């Protein structure tokens, strides 16, 4: 991934935290003092966001030396070092929180995604959603991919997904909103796959008659997901969505749906437990 487009984001994050300067470090640490430090995993995790951490520190000290002993997307055991630093002590202290915020957030998403895939128990596409922090969608979807997940559409502009509120607007024109929605998408966006959301088995049957390529089964009970698979018989790809988490993903995957979209991968991923520690001085 090219992280250069996020340089302004890094600068804004540093401005938010450091502002005019780290007054505590400036009071305690001489300008020329050097230090070594390491970012350490405190739990088993999938590492993500390390290039952003490097960018943070080099914004503060262009000469600071960074080493990443693990690769992006690597499975890391608790206690392993994931980033090593050597340079101006003031820069390391000033960048610590901002760098950790990026790495903890993205590693948390990647780790949760990997856990979800492991819990599913069968080979199935686990998709993210648009439930991301504003302006961080590209980074968060990148973290999902590092964890082994699949990116759903990036935004409203790159894939058709007819949702319940689209249908609610169309229903004001009369019955048959599902049929009309697919027809209009075919006419105005030829050549694109159409995905449409349904809320029950009756709507599923109506969507199948339209020939929609993907049907999103919104908040279906596990039993209804199984029925939906039997009804569809491969005529459309079925996507389970709504309320899926680590506790029930195995049951959802076992129904035979083609894919599962999981909003909690981004909107509820806990920050990974990672610390940054300054190496103690070596006395003669």
**Crossing angle (nearest 10°) for helices 177-188 and 164-171:** 100
**Active site residue: 131, 137, 153, 227, which one?**
131
Tokens of 14: 């540093």
Is position 30 annotated as part of the catalytic site? Answer: no
Is position 17 annotated as part of the catalytic site? Answer: no
DSSP E strands, 24-79: 34-41, 45-46, 65-67, 75-76
User: Residues 6 or more apart from 122 whose CB is under 8 A from it?
Assistant: 253, 254
End-to-end CA gap in the chain = 44
**Active site residue: 163, 192, 193, 209, which one?**
163
DSSP E strands, the chain: 34-41, 45-46, 65-67, 75-76, 81-88, 125-127, 160-162, 194-198, 214-218, 237-241, 259-261, 274-278
Let me know: does 167 contact 177? Beta carbons within 8 Å.
Answer: yes
Is position 226 annotated as part of the catalytic site? Answer: no
Let me know: does 255 contact 229? Beta carbons within 8 Å.
Answer: yes
**Active site residue: 22, 59, 218, 239, which one?**
218
User: Residues 6 or more apart from 259 whose CB is under 8 A from it?
Assistant: 124, 125, 126, 127, 150, 237, 238, 239, 240
Q: What is the C-alpha separation between 162 and 197, in angstroms, rounded?
A: 6
Q: What are residue 126's DSSP bridge partners?
A: 260
Is position 131 annotated as part of the catalytic site? Answer: yes
Per the document, the length of the chain is: 284
**Active site residue: 75, 84, 97, 137, which one?**
97
Is position 115 annotated as part of the catalytic site? Answer: no
Q: What is the C-alpha separation between 60 and 64, in angstroms, rounded?
A: 8
3-state secondary structure of 226: helix
**Active site residue: 197, 203, 206, 239, which one?**
197
* Residues with catalytic roles: 97, 131, 163, 197, 218
């Amino acid at each position: 991934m090219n992280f250069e487009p996020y340089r302004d984001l890094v600068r804004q994050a540093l401005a938010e935290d450091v502002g005019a300067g780290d007054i505590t470090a400036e009071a305690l640490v001489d300008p020329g003092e050097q230090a070594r430090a390491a970012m350490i995993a405190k739990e088993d995790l999938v590492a993500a966001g390390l290039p952003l951490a490097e960018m943070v520190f080099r914004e503060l000290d262009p000469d600071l030396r960074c080493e990443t002993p693990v690769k992006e997307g690597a499975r890391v055991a608790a206690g392993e070092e994931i980033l090593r630093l050597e340079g101006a002590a003031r820069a390391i202290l000033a960048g610590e929180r901002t760098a950790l915020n990026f790495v903890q957030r993205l590693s948390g998403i990647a780790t949760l995604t990997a856990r979800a895939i492991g819990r599913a128990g069968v080979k199935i596409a686990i998709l993210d959603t648009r439930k991301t922090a504003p302006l961080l969608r590209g980074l968060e979807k990148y973290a999902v991919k590092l964890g082994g997940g699949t990116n759903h559409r990036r935004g409203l502009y790159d894939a058709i997904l007819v949702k319940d509120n689209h249908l609610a607007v169309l229903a004001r024109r009369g019955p048959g909103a599902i049929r009309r929605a697919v027809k209009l998408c075919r006419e105005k966006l030829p050549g694109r796959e159409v995905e449409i959301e349904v809320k029950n088995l009756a709507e599923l049957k109506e969507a199948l008659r339209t020939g929609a390529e993907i049907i999103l089964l919104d908040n279906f009970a596990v039993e209804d997901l199984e029925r939906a698979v039997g009804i569809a018989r491969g005529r459309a790809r079925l996507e389970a969505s709504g309320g899926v988490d680590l506790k029930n993903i195995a049951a959802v995957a076992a129904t035979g749906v083609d894919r599962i979209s999981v909003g909690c991968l981004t909107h509820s991923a806990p920050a990974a437990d990672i610390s940054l520690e300054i190496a103690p001085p070596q006395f003669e």
